[in-house]
């Protein structure tokens, strides 16, 4: 079975990870976060990319696609090798820019079907407040005001155009992510029932 993919996009702290875990609790999807995979690779002792990834993350910049796409491809393959019924994936935080998209098209076209983009739409102020709050306990090197300003700029300059491109193709489902957790979950599952359960 070819992997079925939903890309999950939104600003830093929009709630992508939180909502993906809700979907995983209720549906047979596997959540792969590009950020989590990069952080795990950064911590891997034998990794040749540890320092590079560390610098990119602190600067809120987008890590070169060759690294990210290989981590994603490997994670998808390993998941499906363990259980061939696990072919549905939420890919969170990807594609974040044109380079990501080109990389995906080069490596994955014909090998996976992208169903649509789930877009968590949230104001920059709310995103920053949530990440600062998360930063009190996350231990993340980029949940601080200085990194966050850069991450928001990267999001606006590089990721928003990718969301707009998918919008033009009629492939975006938007959830108002500024609302309370309960409301966001409700809104998301309404969409899920309409379209995602296929």
| Residues annotated within a binding site | 13-18, 39, 61-63, 93-96, 100, 134, 140, 151, 179
Interface mask toward ligand AMP for 90-119; x: CB under 6 A:
---xx-x---x-------------------
Per the annotation, binding residues for a ribonucleoside 5'-phosphate are 39, 61-63, 93-96, 140, 151
Span 46-65, contacts to ligand ADP by CB under 6 A: none
Structure token digits, residue 104: 């995906």
User: Which range touches ligand AMP (CB under 6 A), out of 59-67, 79-87, 117-125, 180-188?
Assistant: 59-67
Q: Are 121 and 172 in contact (CB under 8 A)?
A: no
Tell me the β-bridge partners of 92.
8, 33
User: 177 CB contacts (<8 Å, ≥6 apart)?
Assistant: 10, 14, 15, 19, 120, 121, 122, 126, 184
Query: Which of 71, 86, 89, 84 lies closest to 20, judged by CA?
Result: 89
Tell me which of 134, 140, 150, 171 binds ligand ADP, using CB under 6 A: 134
**Cα separation of 173 and 68, whole Å?**
24
Please identify, using beta-carbon distances, which residue of 41 and 143 lies nearer to ligand ADP: 143
| Residue 19 near ligand AMP by CB under 6 A | no
């Amino acid at each position: 079975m070819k992997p079925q993919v939903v890309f999950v996009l939104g600003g830093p702290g929009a709630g992508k990870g939180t909502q993906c875990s809700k979907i995983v609790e209720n549906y047979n999807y596997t959540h792969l976060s590009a950020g989590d995979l990069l952080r795990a690779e950064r911590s891997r002792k034998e990794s040749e990319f540890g320092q590079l990834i560390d610098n990119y993350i602190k600067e809120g910049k987008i890590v070169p696609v060759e690294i990210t796409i290989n981590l994603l491809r490997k994670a998808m393959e390993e998941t499906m090798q363990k259980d061939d019924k696990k072919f549905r994936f939420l890919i969170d935080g990807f594609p974040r820019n044109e380079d990501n998209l080109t990389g995906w098209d080069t490596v994955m076209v014909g090998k996976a079907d992208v169903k649509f983009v789930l877009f968590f739409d949230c104001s920059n102020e709310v995103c920053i407040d949530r990440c600062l709050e998360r930063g009190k306990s996350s231990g993340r090197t980029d949940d601080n005001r200085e990194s966050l300003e850069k991450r928001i700029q990267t999001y606006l300059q590089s990721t928003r155009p990718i969301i707009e491109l998918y919008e033009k193709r009629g492939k975006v489902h938007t959830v108002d992510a500024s609302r309370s957790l309960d409301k966001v979950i409700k809104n998301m599952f309404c969409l899920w029932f309409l379209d995602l359960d296929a």
